[in-house]
Structure 1
Amino acid sequence: MAMAPRSISAGEPSPASAGEPPLRTEFAFRLPRGYLDESGTLHRDGIMRLATARDELVPLRDDRVRENAAYLTVVLLGRVITRLGGITDVHAGIVEDLFATDLAFLQDLYRRVNSEGHARAAVACPDCGHKFDVDLSGSRLGES
């Protein structure tokens, strides 16, 4: 018995597209230099998770960020880095003590992980019925 097509209402999860990879929320990284803790242990491998809207909004209420807008990066990274070596309680104080090279690396990783998503839609050719994905966000920078 064939099932009738089902429409998806707003707020309802959509069925996974065939062959579409699952949403990835954590990203492993290796710092170029590493975080040197007070005992002299070097921590280089870590995990960064996708940022939420809360992660980006809460630091704006932080007095350190209000006094110095550049501190936003430090607070934000302290929220989204879930592990750094053996450290699972990563916070702004640890991010403050990173080498500049590592801070720049993490800023770039954060941007790539959180800003470079895609807006794709599954479509079918009206003539032949061939199914394919279309990027709704338009062309990439530098492409026409």
Structure 2
Amino acid sequence: MALQTEFEFTLPQGYVDGEGNLHKHGVMKLATAKDEILPQKDPRVIGNPAYLSVILLSRVVTQLGSLEDVTPAVIENLFIQDLSYLQALYSKINEGSVLFETVCPYCNKTHEVRFDRPKE
């Protein structure tokens, strides 16, 4: 059985680009050591350690809707619910199981969602 290295996702809210287009569906890749090490050298992270998450996610989110590139600027402009979702997904695929709350965009009810590490 091959190791799964890419994971599709759908953002709870979605990213709205400068032209008003909504991008919700994407792909996140499994992180490499390089993905975790290089952002720590970024001046934005050195100046503000909380920015690490932005740089890291921009390295591992390989697709988002029809965007050509997922840059740190894209991640910076996500709604907080989407940022939290991607952080939880990152933890799930790279570190193990994660439980978080999300609001259904259709019924507006809060639900707990558990991401379990994929079985090999």
TM-score, L = length of structure 2: 0.79
Q: Which of 48, 64, 71 lines up with 2:51 in the alignment?
A: 71
- Letter in structure 2 aligned against 1:90: V
Q: CA deviation at 1:70?
A: 0.5
Gapped regions of structure 1 (runs ≥ 5)? 1-20, 118-144
Would you identify which runs of 4 or more consecutive aligned residues in structure 1 move more than 4 Å?
none
What SS does structure 1 have at the residue aligned with 2:62? Answer: strand
- 1:44 corresponds, among 19, 24, 30, to 24
Assess if the C-alpha contact under 8 Å between 1:30 and 1:46 holds in 2.
Answer: yes
Distance 2:34 2:68 in 1: 20
Aligned pairs for 1:1-144 within 5 A: 21-116=1-96
RMSD over aligned Cα atoms: 1.1
Deviation at 1:91, TM superposition (A): 1.1
Contact 1:82 1:88 in 2 (8 A): no
Structure 1 length as normaliser, TM-score? 0.66
Could you tell me how far apart the structure 1 residues matched to 2:81 and 2:94 are? Answer: 20
**Bigger radius of gyration:** 1
Structure 2: gaps of 5 or more residues = 98-120
How many residue pairs end up in the alignment? Answer: 97
Percentage of matched positions with identical amino acids: 51
Structure with the higher fraction of residues in helix conformation: 2
